[in-house]
Amino acid sequence: MAWGTFLQVLTIAVSLLIAVGGWIWNDFSKRNSEERQRKEERYTALLASTKGFYQNADHNEAYELKKEHALGEFILEIRKDLFGKRFLFWGRTRLVWSDFRILTST
């Protein structure tokens, strides 16, 4: 086989590999984006439905702290699910349950 023919075949093979790799990467990222969008919509609806969990309830301080802790843990787990499949260190977070508070106007 002549050197020129080998270079032509190699060029075509590398071009095909790059094209297929790009197509696979694009499909994978599109699928992940759609999955994340669905999760965000569902979690938004789920968080909106938790209003009864913390409104119009007993004002006992220990009970309120337990509810706040539970809701904070709940939101933290949602964040881990949404942002957990990141590359290397971007999936890590330093947030704790106490970072999520329910603020109301007085």
CA distances for 42 relative to 16, 59, 82, 100, angstroms: 39, 30, 11, 19
Which of 88-104 are b and which e, b meaning 16 or more Cβ less than 10 Å from the residue's Cβ? eeeeeeeeebeebeeee
Reported as a single tens digit per residue, the pLDDT across 32-83 is: 888 888 888 888 888 777 765 555 555 677 777 777 778 888 887 887 777 7
| Nearest Cα to Cα of residue 57 among 68, 44, 47, 46 | 68
Per-domain residue ranges of the chain: 1-37, 50-106
Global confidence as pTM: 0.52
